[in-house]
Structure 1
Amino acid sequence: SNGTFGERLEEIILKYKIPMVKPDFEWAEYPDVNIIEEKLSNNPDVKVVAMVFHETSTGMINPVYEVGQLCKKYGKLFFVDCVSAAGGENIDVVRNNIDVATGVGGKCVGAFPGSAYICAKESLLESIKEEDCKNVYLNLYKHYHYAKNIRQTPNTPNLTLFWALNAALTNIINKGLDKQIETYKERAKILRNGIKELGLRVLLDEKYMSNSVTSVFLPDRIKVDDFLAEMEKDGYVLYAGKGKYYEQNMFQVANMGNIKIEECYELLKIIDKNIKKLQPNNCN
C-alpha cells in the first residue's frame, strides 16, 4: 500500500478479518521489492499477495511484474486491482503472473461508471467452494457458476451498464489495445510537457507515472479549492489531491476517455489563465 487505494484494499481485508502482513510504504513511495520479498520469506503462511496496479491517488504505476515474479517464486496467489489501469496500461496477466485482476467499465475503458468485472485463472475459479464466500450479492462462487452453466447472473443486473461495457470493449478491440495505450501516452505527454512549461511541479518522477493521471502542485499561496472552482467555471473538472497532498495544494489531471489532442492544449491554456488570475500580485 502506497496510496489511497492500497489503503482501501487494506480496509477490505480488515473488514473480513483476514490476517494480513503489510510492508510500510509512504504515499507516492515506489515500493521496494526487496522489502516485499523479505515479508514473503519471513511469513510462509501468506497465501495471497494483493496490490494496486495504478495507484490513482498519486498517479504511480506499481512494480506489478516484479511482485508477480516473487509470487511465482514463493508460490503465492497474486491479486491485482486494475481499476484505473485497464484500457490504459499493458496489464498482461500472463507476463505479470496475475491470478486475479479486477476492473471497471469507466476510467480508461471508456464505458459508464457502475459496472465492474473480475478476470481470474479458470483453475482458481474452479477451486472456489460456496462456503468460502462471505458475501451474498457479490458471491464469486455463484457468479462464476451462473455464468459458466446458464450464462446468467445470480441477481438482476443493470443491463444498460453491460451494454455500455460491451460497446467500450468492442471499441478497444477494433482500435487495438496497443494503439489505445499509445493514445493515452500521447495525451499525457502533451499535458506534462505543457505543465512543466507553465513552471509547475509534478509529484512523481516520469518513470513512475501512469499513462492517464498527472499530479501537479500549484504555486505558493494559491489554494487548490479556489483553483478548482475557477476551472469548473470554465467547464473543466480536475481533482484535488488526497490526504496530505490536499494540504499541499496538489491537483490531478486525468486524460481518461476519448480526449482529443486539441482539448489537451486548450486545458493547458485554461490552467495558465486561472493560475495567473489567482496569483496574489494580480491586480484584477
Structure 2
Amino acid sequence: MKKVERKILLNPGPATTTVSVKNAMVVEDICPREEKFGALIEGIKNDLVKVIHGEGEYVAALFAASGTGGLEAAITSAVPKGKKLLVVENGAYGTRMIKLAQTFDIDVVKYQLEYGDYPSLDAIESLLKENDDVSHLAVVHHETTTGMLNPIQEICYLSHKYGVEVIVDCMSSYAGIPINAKKWQAEYIVSSSNNCIQGMAGLAFVIFKVDLLSKLSEQKRSFYFNIYNQYVGFEKTGQLQFTPPVQVCHALRQAIDEYLEEGEEGRWNRYKDNWELLVEGLQDLGLSFLLPYGQQSKILLAIMEPKHPNYNFDAMHDYLYEKGFTIYPGKGAKSATFRLSVLGDLYRKDIEDFLVALKGYLTSIA
C-alpha cells in the first residue's frame, strides 16, 4: 500500500480522513448490481438514519453527488408546484439554496440577513403569517460561512405551527454535532459523505420521514435527483438507479463504523476540545472572532483578519500549506475573515502544531 502523507485540513470540508478510510477504497472490482453491493448500500442507508436517532420514523435516499446534489433532491422533490419555499439566508449556503430553488422556478420567500447575523424567530413568524402559500422552510444548521449554529429546534417548532415542512442543510454538522431527528421533527435532513462523518467526497444523502412518500410520489421536477424514485427503486430492486461511486461507498461504510465506535459523545467531545484549544490559542495570538461565543458551532471559526499592513491571506495560506496545514478564506461575511474548522480526524497535537505554525507566520510579518 502506498504511504500517503497526512495533511491537516482546517477547511470546512472535505475533512482529514483516517488511513483506514483511505484504505477501504482499495477493494476488488464489483458490479454495483450485485446483491453483495446492494447489501452494503442497505447497511449504509440504515446506519445513516441511526446516526441521528431516526430509526422507525426516517429513511434515507443516497445519491452520487456532492452535498448540493442532496439539497437539490430535497428542494425539488419536496416543494409542490404552486407553493413557495421560505429560506433563512444568513450565509452563503442559504443563498445557494435560494439559487437552487430559483433555477427550478420555485418561488422563494427570502429571510435575508447579513452573513453573520443571528435569525429572529419573530421575523420568521411574520413571514410565515404573511405568506400562507409557503409549504416548506429551508435553513442551514451549521452555516460554515461564519461558524454560526442556527436555532433549528425552535425553527422547526415554529414552522410546524403554521403547517410548514422543514428542510435542514446539515452538511457540516451531521455526525459532528449531536442531532436527534425525532426531537427536531424536521421533514428532511441533508448531508454528505465527506465532512463530520469523515468519509470521502462523492455521496449525498437525504434523510426524510417515511410517511412523506405518498407526497413525494407526485413530484416530477427532476429525473436524477428524485427522492421517491431513488428510494422506492432501491427498495424494489436492491440497486441504486444510477451507477454509484463504488469505492467511495466502501469508504463511507468504514467511516460510519469508525463513527459508531467513537460514539456520538466521543466525536462531539473531541471536536469541542479541539475547538476550545484553537480558540484559546488564537486569542493568545491576538486574534478575535466574528461571532459571539453563544452563537458558535464549536466546529468552525470565522476569524477577523489581522489589521497589520503586511498581512495577506494568500501569503498566509501558502506559508501554512507548505507546513502541511490547509486554511480557508472568508465567504462574504459582514466583516473580513478567514476560517478554520476542526472537523475530521484531528486531535490535540494537530491543533497545537498548527498554532505554532500560525505564530510563525504572524511573527514573520510583524
TM-score with structure 1 setting the length: 0.93
Pair 1:45 & 2:133 matched: yes
Counterparts of 1:155-234 in structure 2, within 5 Å, are: 155-220=242-307, 221=309, 222-234=311-323
Q: Is residue 227–residue 278 contact of structure 1 (8 Å, CA) maintained in 2?
A: no
**Amino acid in the other structure paired with 1:145:** V
Relative contact order, higher structure (CA 8 A, sep 6+)? 2
Runs of 5+ consecutive residues of structure 1 not aligned to the other structure: 280-284
Assess, with a 3 A threshold, how the Cα gap between structure 1 residues 244 and 42 changes in structure 2: closer, same or farther: closer
SS in 2 for 1:152: coil
**Amino acid in the other structure paired with 2:345:** N
Corresponding residue of 1:145: 232
Per-residue deviation, residues 232-283 of structure 1 (Å, max 9, x unmatched): 12121100111256x83x211111111111111111111111011122xxxx
Q: CA deviation at 1:169?
A: 1.2
Q: CA deviation at 1:211?
A: 2.5
Q: Give the Cα separation in 2 of the matches to 1:168 and 1:244.
A: 32
Q: Is residue 191–residue 205 contact of structure 2 (8 Å, CA) maintained in 1?
A: yes
Q: Give the Cα separation in 1 of the matches to 2:207 and 2:121.
A: 25
The number of residue pairs the alignment matches comes to 276
Corresponding residue of 2:223: 136
**Amino acid in the other structure paired with 2:156:** G
TM-score with structure 2 setting the length: 0.73
Corresponding residue of 1:74: 162
Q: Give the Cα separation in 2 of the matches to 1:2 and 1:218.
A: 20
Corresponding residue of 1:239: 328
SS in 2 for 1:229: helix
Runs of 5+ consecutive residues of structure 2 not aligned to the other structure: 1-88
Q: CA deviation at 1:217?
A: 1.9
Structure 1 runs of 4+ off > 3 angstroms?
none
Identity %: 27
Task: Indicate the RMSD between aligned Cα atoms, in angstroms.
Answer: 1.4
Q: Give the Cα separation in 1 of the matches to 2:331 and 2:141.
A: 18
**Amino acid in the other structure paired with 1:42:** E
Q: Is residue 116–residue 333 contact of structure 2 (8 Å, CA) maintained in 1?
A: no
Assess, with a 3 A threshold, how the Cα gap between structure 1 residues 195 and 4 changes in structure 2: closer, same or farther: same
Q: Is residue 173–residue 196 contact of structure 2 (8 Å, CA) maintained in 1?
A: yes
